């Protein structure tokens, strides 16, 4: 399946067109350039497409579907409702076999579907995860959240906290190789006790909430990515959503599965805002090693990864991952052909993938350093 998206006149995004969203896609840009908005739109339309798949599965299995698509409530949850203009246009398209297209289009304040149902051959069951930049609050929220009944820190925070909680049910230890530490989940009288331990001769064991800011921002990335890449069971999610709905509506007797779950296409989509938060450049690069290992090398579920970042270190480091792939080095590595890197600027995109070499063109990211040097030279 090939995905594409077009976005016009949405907040800072004036004219965006991605012909093919690659399995590993990176957006880099200045604050306010629209990279997070772009990622949220892709995540949202992937979610709508996911729900259209479930809708199609139920209809074709002889069951009424409960889903209605209130696009403005979705825009509000995503934090982009205020960016909508009368001439805003969003077109998300999936293509199969280079000829079968399914299009979801927002045009003139209305959501349109090119097909009301998806052909049973192309029905998929997907999981969407969005790891927001506010993930640094998780360490504290995990301790006090239960006492703040009704507390609301926004849609994306509660989504990422739910994924974090789910992941920590399944995974009790992860190595934080980028920091030389270990994260562990232990039982306590109050439930889970999240701990950070040393992974070297300097022995210490502290609560997660008392760890460094870089630790607090990177643990959710590694825990959630490892869980969805290796531990997530589509069967459990299916039973907890589709079968639960059928049971609650007394529709199990009518249900005639159009396709077995084992035969349905499946994919995990992980979206991460600013993975570099509070990390030294060396740790940023090592975090990328761990993330690529989780999602593309040791994974058992099919994963696609989308990042938004300010960090030129991360983008530069991608070239080392490409080189390691081409040299078949037995370490974290990634295929140039499956990677896309875009600079978000002036309401549009600049493709940073070099056309004549297998590398990312990082020259545009050096402008600030060059400007500082030139200013230094002028001062004599």
Dig out the tokens for 237 from the structure.
């999610």
pLDDT at position 145 is: 52
220-250 tens-digit pLDDT:
999 999 999 999 999 999 888 888 888 888 8
57-70 tens-digit pLDDT:
999 999 887 777 88
Domain range annotation of the chain: 2-134+233-378
Which contacts qualify for 13-16: CB closer than 8 Å, 24 or more apart?
13/37, 13/38, 13/41, 13/83, 13/347, 14/346, 14/347, 14/348, 15/347, 15/348, 16/347, 16/348, 16/349
Q: What CATH number is given for 2-134+233-378 in this structure?
A: 3.40.50
The average pLDDT across 158-164 equals: 94
Average pLDDT, the chain: 91
pLDDT at position 251 is: 81
The average pLDDT across 259-280 equals: 94
Cβ burial, residue 367 (10 Å; 0-12/13-18/19+): exposed
- For the entire predicted model, the pTM comes to 0.94
Residue found by looking up tokens 């509070």 in the block? 278
């Amino acid at each position: 399946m090939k995905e594409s998206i077009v976005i016009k006149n949405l907040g800072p995004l004036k004219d965006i067109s991605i012909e093919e969203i690659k399995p590993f896609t990176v957006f880099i840009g200045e604050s306010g350039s629209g990279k997070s908005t772009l990622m949220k739109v892709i995540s949202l339309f992937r979610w709508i497409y996911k729900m259209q798949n479930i809708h199609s599965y139920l209809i074709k299995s002889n069951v009424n579907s409960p889903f209605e698509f209130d696009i403005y409530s979705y825009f509000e949850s995503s934090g982009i409702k205020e960016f909508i203009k009368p001439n805003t246009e969003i077109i998300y398209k999936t293509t199969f076999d280079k000829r079968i297209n399914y299009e979801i289009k927002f045009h003139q304040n209305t959501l349109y579907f090119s097909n009301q149902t998806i052909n049973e051959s192309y029905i998929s069951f997907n999981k969407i995860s969005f790891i927001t930049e506010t993930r640094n609050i998780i360490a504290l929220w995990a301790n006090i959240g239960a006492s703040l009944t009704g507390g609301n820190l926004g849609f994306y925070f509660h989504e990422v906290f739910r994924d974090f909680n789910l992941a920590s049910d399944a995974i009790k230890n992860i190595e934080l190789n980028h920091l030389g530490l270990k994260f562990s989940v232990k039982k306590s009288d109050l439930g889970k006790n999240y701990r950070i331990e040393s992974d070297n001769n300097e022995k210490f064991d502290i609560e997660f909430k008392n760890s460094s800011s870089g630790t607090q921002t990177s643990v959710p990335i590694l825990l959630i990515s490892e869980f969805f890449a290796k531990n997530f069971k589509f069967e459990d999610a299916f039973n907890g959503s589709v079968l639960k709905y059928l049971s609650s509506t007394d529709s199990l007797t009518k249900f005639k599965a159009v396709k077995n779950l084992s035969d349905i296409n499946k994919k995990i989509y992980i979206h991460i805002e600013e993975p570099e938060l509070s990390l030294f450049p060396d740790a940023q690069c090592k975090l990328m090693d761990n993330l690529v290992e989780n999602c593309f090398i040791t994974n058992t579920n099919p994963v696609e990864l989308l990042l938004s970042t300010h960090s030129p270190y991360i983008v530069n480091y991608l070239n080392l991952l490409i080189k390691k792939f081409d040299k078949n080095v037995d370490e974290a590595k990634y295929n140039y052909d499956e990677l896309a890197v875009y600079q978000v600027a002036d309401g549009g995109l600049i493709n940073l993938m070099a056309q004549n070499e297998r590398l990312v063109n990082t020259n545009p990211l050096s402008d600030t350093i060059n400007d500082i040097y030139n200013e230094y030279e002028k001062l004599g």
